[in-house]
Amino acid sequence: MADDKLEVINPPNTLKQKVGTGGAGAVDLEALERAEQVIAGMTDSYLDWVVEDLKKIDKAYANLEAATGDRKAEMEAVFHVSHDIKGQGGSFGYDLMTSIANELCRLIEKADKIGDEEVEAVKLHIASLKLVIGEDMKGQGGKAGEKMLAGLQQVCDKLLA
């Protein structure tokens, strides 16, 4: 097999020479805590970003709804925005945004057709994402959030069965 012609290379390790250990500027527990606080302080920025993302996903959905043909390109556009929303929510304390967008991505990735039911399910997910931001549902959104996510999961499971 290929391993018969195996060459092992040890590249020069320059990183250890460039980093110091301890002292001012070292990343200790306090520095990590400060960095986490900086991210927490970016929540206002996140809310601006996500409003933009919600506008984008609305537009992508409008195109999907109006599309004729196989709708693949339009669905891909919805997926792209949903994937961005999924990647960001949890970093800023909006875990439910990540969970809902994850469900939406899962639905789009796994669905073997894009029929009216799938398009309707996409609409439901987008409405839920807007509700989370509109109602400022942080974390997993408590009982209401759990119920919302369970409902969406049920819809997806049914369509993907």
Partner 1 sequence: MLVGYDVAALGQGVPPMADYNIENLKFLVVDDDANMRHLVTTILSSLGVRNTATANSAEKGFGQLYDFDADIVICDLRMEPLDGLEFTKMIRNHDTSPNRYVPIIMLTGHSELSAVEQARDAGVHEFIAKPVSATRLYAKIKRIIEHPRAFIRTEDYFGPDRRRRQDPDYNGPERRKAK
Cβ neighbour number for residue 76 with a 10 Å cutoff: 12
Cβ 148 to partner 1, closest distance in Å?
19
Tell me the window of 54-62, 77-85, 118-126, 149-157 that interacts with partner 1 (CB under 8 A).
77-85
Q: What is the CA radius of gyration of the chain?
A: 21
Nearest CB to partner 1, comparing residues 21 and 68 = 21
**Residue 38 in the binding site for partner 1 (CB under 8 A):** yes
Can you tell me the distance from the alpha carbon of 103 to that of 22, in angstroms, rounded to the nearest whole number?
A: 43
Tokens standing for residue 42? 């970016």
> Which of 120, 76, 122 has its CA nearest to residue 101?
122
**88 near partner 1 (CB under 8 A):** yes
Q: Smallest Cα–Cα separation from 148: which of 113, 112, 100?
A: 100
Residues lying near partner 1 in the complex (CB under 8 A) are found at 1-3, 5-11, 13-16, 18-29, 31-32, 34-36, 38-39, 42, 45-46, 49, 53, 80, 83-84, 86-91, 95, 98, 102, 105-106
